[in-house]
């Protein structure tokens, strides 16, 4: 299963851009993210930080021992995200994977659900 995980406020404390190197991992975050990776999931860390912060962000993640497959920058910032696969973050003591039935995807082909729902 591919799992997208936000960084600020999800795996670490929210800090101003200048203070991000001093952010602290949230309780249980390193253990939970690494467990997901160790279980064979593809963990992609996706942040609203700009690409100019890539190197500092990767250094912070690696320095705190996070295991992940990919780091993506530039996530759109929004007050509300409506998504059929999203889960509200309520702490690392929750079983998020257990709430999802994995739906296989064929690369390059939209699912029948998305094809039906696409209206232009």
- pLDDT by residue (tens digit) across 79-104? 888 777 777 888 888 888 887 766 55
Average pLDDT score over residue span 36-59: 95
Structural domains counted in the chain = 1
Name the percent of the chain lying above pLDDT 90: 60
Q: Compute the average pLDDT of residues 19-33.
A: 95
List the CATH number of the domain containing 11.
3.40.50.1000
Calpha distance 22→12 (Å, rounded): 10
| H or E element, residue 60 | helix 54-63
Give the residue numbers spanning the domain of 45.
Answer: 2-117
What local confidence, expressed as pLDDT, does residue 112 receive? 42
Closest CA to 71 of 44, 31, 53: 44
- ∠ Cα 40 59 19 (to 5°): 120
| Contacts for 89 with CB less than 8 Å, ≥ 6 apart | 6, 9, 10
């Amino acid at each position: 299963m591919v799992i997208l995980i936000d960084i600020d406020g999800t795996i670490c404390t929210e800090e101003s851009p200048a203070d991000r190197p001093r952010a602290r991992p949230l309780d249980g975050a390193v253990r939970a993210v690494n467990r997901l990776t160790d279980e064979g999931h593809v963990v992609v860390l996706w942040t609203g930080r700009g690409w100019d912060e890539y190197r500092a962000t990767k250094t912070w993640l690696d320095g705190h021992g996070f295991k992940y497959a990919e780091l993506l920058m530039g996530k759109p910032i929004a007050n509300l995200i409506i998504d059929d696969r999203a889960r509200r973050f309520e702490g690392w003591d929750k079983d998020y994977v257990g709430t999802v039935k994995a739906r296989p995807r064929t690369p390059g082909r939209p699912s029948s659900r998305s094809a039906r729902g696409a209206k232009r």
